[in-house]
Chain A
Amino acid sequence: MKYLDEYRNPKIAIALAEQIRARATRPWVVMEICGGQTHTLMRYGIDELVAPAVELVHGPGCPVCVTALETVDKAVEIASRPDVTFVSYGDMLRVPGSRSDLFRVKAAGGDVRIVYSPIDAVKLARELPHRRVVFFAVGFETTAPANAMAVWRAHREGLANFSVLVSHVLVPPAIRLLLQSPSHRVQGFIAPGHVCTVMGYTEYEELAREFHVPIVVGGFEPLDLLEAIRMLVNQLEDGRADVENQYARSVSREGNPAARAIMARVFEVTDRKWRGIGEIAQSGYRLRAEFAGHDAEKVFGLAPITADEPAECISAFVLQGLKKPPDCVAFGTRCTPDTPLGAPMVSGEGACAAYYSYRRHESEEQLVGLH
């Protein structure tokens, strides 16, 4: 497909990796934030191509992974009601809460449906006027405009039976938290290209200035990521800490003004708890008061709940780039994509799931070697 295949040329990939290794005078630690990028890096073995010049560590990954246990519990509670049609992106269904997940609710007869677009959830609310249609609005900034548009349409049409359970998270506050940690090892960041398509990269310029860390906005294909790593290594070797844009075919400095306008109209920034990390100030969106009639937490009067993460899971360290998935004693044994203990094994885009899919055998050998 045009604009995909040409960014997968193996000859150029090898040349880029050679240049990265030739330029590096010492090993550098680089973090990618987006699970989609983690997936590409692992799938094409880019981490091995650039080693030992660059060590890639993996960030918070994906909104599915970091959706708080309590929010999943709320989704399960709402979806279990007989008067509710619960609508979600497919990857949220397997995510375990503290006692159940949405798949189990569906298996027990709950009306849980998967959609491709939030607009499909609005359509369901229109078609099922006697059902209470609840959409699970998760996502990074990439997904927020579409979810905001769904709320806006339902509001404009007066669809009182449509509400959303909002669990939106924002990338820059998570990077800030990571950089404030005294134990962090990250020397450069690949910023998520689709988040920046929507938001632009002025927030990342603030981070680069404040923490003197280079950031390159990167795309999602192998050559995009190798080029982003090459740009980061050049900056690190030069002692620069700028924001550069590798993914210029989609990203502009100001982002997408129409998308940002609808997000600002419907959402406001709030504190948000991240699974595996904890609460991060000003790191999420909630609905503005004007849209309270479409806010599932208010509509269903849910009481606040707290739930504990499994003690064995080291996802807090994995999500901050301090440990790698095979460092975990439960990896691939008690924790697998079918029986995930923690956030990064939950979604296919999580770092643990990516290692499980592409590096399982290697990890097994490592584990065998240890015993």
Chain B
Amino acid sequence: MCLAIPGRIVDSEDVAGSRVANVQFGGITRKVYLDFVPEAAVGDYVIVHVGFAISRLDAEEAERTLALLEEMGELPSE
């Protein structure tokens, strides 16, 4: 129910007072409302739930988490 997945904003336009974007998820593109992420721009990744972006994905935090996880993968366990 709380499934939300990351996708990339391809373009956006104003429709009746809302910003609506084409967001690409792998090979699929869907219309997504950007009402809750006014700061999101074309090229940004957003987390999308029931047709609305609920966050702009923080690329720096994502890199930091990944770097940390990769470091963990290299460490001995003892």
CB-based contact A146/B77 at 8 Å:
no
Residue of B2, B61, B65, B69 with most partner-chain A CB within 10 A: B2
Interface presence of B54 (CB below 8 A): yes
Residues of A close to B75: CB separation below 8 A: 15, 19
CB-based contact A149/B35 at 8 Å:
yes
CB-based contact B57/A22 at 8 Å:
no
CB-based contact B52/A256 at 8 Å:
no
- B31-68 interface mask toward A, CB cutoff 8 Å, 1 = contact, 0 = none? 00101111000000101011110110111011011101
Residues of A close to B70: CB separation below 8 A: 12
Of A1, A119, A194, A259, which is within 8 A of B4 by CB? Answer: A194
Interface presence of A26 (CB below 8 A): no
CB-based contact A2/B6 at 8 Å:
yes
B34 (CB) vs chain A CBs: closest residue: A258
At the interface, is chain B mostly helix, strand, loop or mixed? Answer: mixed
CB-based contact A256/B55 at 8 Å:
yes
CB-based contact B54/A198 at 8 Å:
yes
Give A116 to B3 CA distance when docked, in angstroms. Answer: 12
Tell whether A3 pairs with B62 under 8 Å between CB atoms, given A117-B50, A194-B47, A250-B47.
yes
Report the interface size for chain B: residues with CB under 8 A from the other chain: 39
Residues of B close to A36: CB separation below 8 A: 1-3
CB-based contact A250/B1 at 8 Å:
no
Residues of A close to B6: CB separation below 8 A: 1-4
Interface presence of A16 (CB below 8 A): yes
Q: Which of A136-144, A293-301, A357-365 contacts B (4 or more CB under 8 A)?
A: A136-144
Of B8, B26, B57, which is within 8 A of A250 by CB? Answer: B57
Interface presence of B14 (CB below 8 A): no
B47 (CB) vs chain A CBs: closest residue: A250
At the interface, is chain A mostly helix, strand, loop or mixed? Answer: helix
CB-based contact B55/A197 at 8 Å:
yes
- A83-102 interface mask toward B, CB cutoff 8 Å, 1 = contact, 0 = none? 00000010100000000000
Residues of B close to A344: CB separation below 8 A: none
Residues of B close to A6: CB separation below 8 A: 66
CB-based contact B33/A119 at 8 Å:
yes
CB-based contact B1/A89 at 8 Å:
yes
B64 (CB) vs chain A CBs: closest residue: A248
Residues of B close to A223: CB separation below 8 A: 69
- A331-351 interface mask toward B, CB cutoff 8 Å, 1 = contact, 0 = none? 000000000000000010100
Interface presence of A371 (CB below 8 A): no
Residues of A close to B47: CB separation below 8 A: 194, 197, 250
Residues of A close to B73: CB separation below 8 A: 9, 11-12, 15-16
Interface presence of A62 (CB below 8 A): yes
B77 (CB) vs chain A CBs: closest residue: A18
Interface presence of A188 (CB below 8 A): no
Give A140 to B66 CA distance when docked, in angstroms. Answer: 28
| A350 CB → nearest B CB, Å | 10
Interface presence of A63 (CB below 8 A): yes
Interface presence of A326 (CB below 8 A): no
| B59 CB → nearest A CB, Å | 8
Give A145 to B57 CA distance when docked, in angstroms. Answer: 18
Give A198 to B35 CA distance when docked, in angstroms. Answer: 13
Interface presence of A276 (CB below 8 A): no
Q: Give the interface of B toward A (CB within 8 A).
A: 1-6, 8, 25-26, 33, 35-38, 45, 47, 49-52, 54-55, 57-59, 61-62, 64-66, 68-70, 72-75, 77-78
Q: Give the interface of A toward B (CB within 8 A).
A: 1-4, 6-7, 9, 11-12, 15-16, 18-19, 21-22, 34-36, 62-64, 89, 91, 116-120, 138-140, 142-143, 145-146, 149, 192, 194-195, 197-198, 223, 227, 230, 246, 248-251, 256, 258-259, 262, 347, 349
Additional A-B contacts beyond A146-B52, A256-B54 (14; CB < 8 A) = A6-B66, A7-B66, A22-B78, A89-B50, A117-B52, A119-B51, A138-B1, A140-B2, A149-B52, A227-B69, A230-B72, A248-B65, A250-B47, A251-B55
Instruction: Give the top 6 A-B pairs by smallest Cβ distance, nearest first.
Output: A117-B51, A18-B77, A12-B73, A249-B62, A248-B61, A3-B6
